[in-house]
Amino acid sequence: MVYIATWDHFLNNQSNFFIQSEEKTRYVMKYRHCQSKLVFKVTDNKECIKFKTDQAQDARKMEKLNNIFFTLMANGPEVDISEVRGTTS
């Protein structure tokens, strides 16, 4: 498992995961209250990437990640995700 340092890099990598293996790609979001950490994990059973944050404003990124995955699942991997936004963006 690899922790990605920046959110933009994480988004690019997770999109590539989905494009390469849309049937097997899945993601998990986990909040650890005792550490105040939010962890996003994307895997395709071969590789796994993670993004960890303790910033409250990064919780909004969870909504954007959901919207990106829903758009990719509904419209297929050829959709342009640069147009996908969270409702708060």
- Kindly report the pTM of this predicted structure: 0.73
| Residue range 27-80, pLDDT digits in tens | 898 988 898 888 999 998 889 999 998 887 777 778 888 888 888 778 777 777
Question: Which residues is 42 bridged to in the sheet?
Answer: 27, 49
Using the predicted structure, report yes or no on whether residue 88 has a pLDDT greater than 70: no
Residue that wins the pLDDT comparison between 69 and 82: 69
Determine the structural domain holding residue 9 and report its residue range. Answer: 2-75
Between 5 and 88, name the one with better pLDDT. 5
Q: How many domains does the chain have?
A: 1
- Asked, for residue 82, whether it belongs to a domain, the answer is no
Give a yes or no: residue 14 inside a domain.
yes
The pLDDT assigned to 66 comes to 82
* Residue 81 domain flag: no
46 within a domain of the structure (yes/no): yes
